[in-house]
Amino acid sequence: MTMQERTTDLLVVGSGVAGCAAALAGARAGADVTLATKATRPEESTSYWAQGGVAVTRGDPEAFRADILEAADGAADPEAVDVLVDSADEAVEDVFVETLGVEFDGDDIPDYGREAAHSEARILHVDASTGKHVLAPFLNHLADHDAVEILEDTAALELLTHEGRVHGAMLERDGEWAPCFAGATVLATGGIGACYGRSTNPETATGDGIAMAALAGADLEDMEYVQFHPTAFAGEAPRASKRSGEAAERGEADGDGQGTFLLSEAVRGEGALLRNRDDERFMPEYHADAELAPRDVVARAVEAERDRTGEVYLDVGPLDFEAEFPDLTAECEKRGVDPTEGIPVAPAEHFLCGGIDVDTEGRASLDRLFAVGECARTGVHGANRLASTSLLEALVWGLRAGEAAGGFEAEKIETPELLDRDPTLPEGFAEEKSVRLRRVMDEYVGIERTPEDLGRAQAVLRRLKGEVDAYTRTRTSRSLYELRGTCVTALLVARAAAEQEESRGCHHLVEEPTADAD
């Protein structure tokens, strides 16, 4: 299908739960909605991969609020937390239950799960694959909605701006591009997994929305708080070796763990234990809550024990793993792993707690620009996200932003000329640059950081961005713009981390620079 100029009341970029919620609320508010997504299948959205579930108050909002604030390590915005908690039950009931008909586990009484840093079981779930059971019916519902047009396999290359106002975005499909003018624009582009070698995100998580907003002049906050999930399957790709800094800067690869299989935190919530190669249970030595400590604490402990003993595995012996987690059992079997013998795990990049700075209705600092989901910094997560709050935040802020953004009329402006006059990129250019970027981020901007390493990362990333920018000036392609977005996002993370001199939550500084090993 040929890309053509179009006009819409509300443009939503991204088709995860946040984007779908914004589209639904915009349509309910009377807007004509265009939802543009790079995805062609639901599993290409980060929301689809969400395992644990969606947290609700379970009649005790004060306890839920306290758990969020404690997990955030003192960096959450109390007003934003109030919005999330006060809206949680009504939003879940309205959209997931009544509108989409999601059947969470449990019969008359929901089978609430418990995960790390939650003081009680309050998580609605569908086995350990809640995301796909929520997102697929959400997309089907929108596809049947008269006021919503879904553009699949369609990327946003850059925002259309004039005098501090956003007027839509330049969209691309099949190598063609055209402007989509919108009364308001909602970015719901997900996470930044492509910045790291091992991530629980799909490969499409290239930081597009964050980069577009930053390049347009929008404010960003808390970019240093990158959360690593402690129990990603360790056999998906070779473990990142302790190479020299020079090797990292050259981008020498030893495996790519993009989209690595995640062992849900709910497994530990049901009693699974973490053990090192010596079969020692180690988490009680690191935190009073042991396996149910906050994610940042568990991730650092797992990494430390892997360094010390060579391996960490998840011992599921204390529970009936096959009966309680059939989806995860099937994933293990596909990989030739017998869960009863222990499942090897390692930390992997999971979630960005910061992003485009927004208010309680998703408004960014640029007029008529909104952001929701993982690309947005609402202030809820502070320095470390509480488990199973991502789908909830996406739903709550998606609904609020979609309603607030649904009342504007589109205005056409002069659009930038995107050039495509030079020959195609050198063979392997994008992959070589991507590998180099991920290795630098893994080595220098990972679970533990030093000022020296962060300075080194910024220097390498600035050079890398310059190399990519040289091509984007005269060439236009989705892969090139995605690479530019990943470069911009990675540099923003490294820069924010260098400016944050206090260890807090996911941002953990060590006194001594990381020693390069042979």
The CATH number given to whatever domain includes residue 318 is 3.90.700.10
Q: Answer yes or no: 295 catalytic.
A: yes
Residue 412 lies in a domain: no
Place of tokens 């392997």: 428
**pLDDT tens track for 238-250:** 333 333 344 434 3
Q: Domain containing 478 — which CATH number?
A: 1.20.58.100
pTM here?
0.92
Contact 12, 404 (CB under 8 A): no
Distance CA 314, CA 341 (A): 9
Task: Provide the residue range defining the domain that includes 335.
Answer: 231-350
Do 267 and 362 lie in one domain? The reply is no
Q: Choosing from 6, 173, 295, 456, which is the catalytic residue? A: 295
Do 250 and 396 lie in one domain? The reply is no
Query: Which phi and psi (to 5°) does residue 420 adopt?
Result: -150, 60
Distance CA 30, CA 426 (A): 47
Q: Domain containing 122 — which CATH number?
A: 3.50.50.60
Do 53 and 165 lie in one domain? The reply is yes
Predicted confidence band of residue 416 (pLDDT cuts 50, 70, 90): confident
User: How many distinct structural domains can be found in the chain?
Assistant: 3
**pLDDT tens track for 86-111:** 999 999 999 999 999 999 998 778 99
Do 97 and 23 lie in one domain? The reply is yes
Per-residue burial over 179-199, b if 16 or more Cβ lie within 10 Å, else e, is: bbbbbbbbbbbbbbbbbbbbb
Predicted confidence band of residue 301 (pLDDT cuts 50, 70, 90): very high
pLDDT at 50: 64
pLDDT at 273: 98
Do 43 and 165 lie in one domain? The reply is yes
Least confident of 216-225, 399-408, 471-480: 471-480
Per-residue burial over 243-279, b if 16 or more Cβ lie within 10 Å, else e, is: bebebbbbbebeebbbbbbbbbbbbbbbebbbbbeee
Nearest of 80, 51, 58, 50 to residue 68 by alpha carbon: 80
Distance CA 118, CA 187 (A): 30
Do 281 and 331 lie in one domain? The reply is yes
**pLDDT tens track for 161-218:** 999 999 999 999 999 999 999 999 999 999 999 999 999 998 889 999 999 999 999 9
Do 241 and 216 lie in one domain? The reply is no
Contact 96, 395 (CB under 8 A): yes
Do 480 and 365 lie in one domain? The reply is no
Contact 433, 479 (CB under 8 A): no
pLDDT at 493 over 80: yes
Distance CA 208, CA 489 (A): 8
Per-residue burial over 423-461, b if 16 or more Cβ lie within 10 Å, else e, is: eeeeeebbeebbbbbbbbbbbbbbbebeeebbebbbebb
* Domain final position from 329, 350, 371: 350
Predicted confidence band of residue 49 (pLDDT cuts 50, 70, 90): low
DSSP state of 149: E
Do 317 and 172 lie in one domain? The reply is no
Cα angle vertex 230, ends 338, 133, to 5°? 70
Do 474 and 383 lie in one domain? The reply is no
Nearest of 48, 51, 52 to residue 112 by alpha carbon: 52
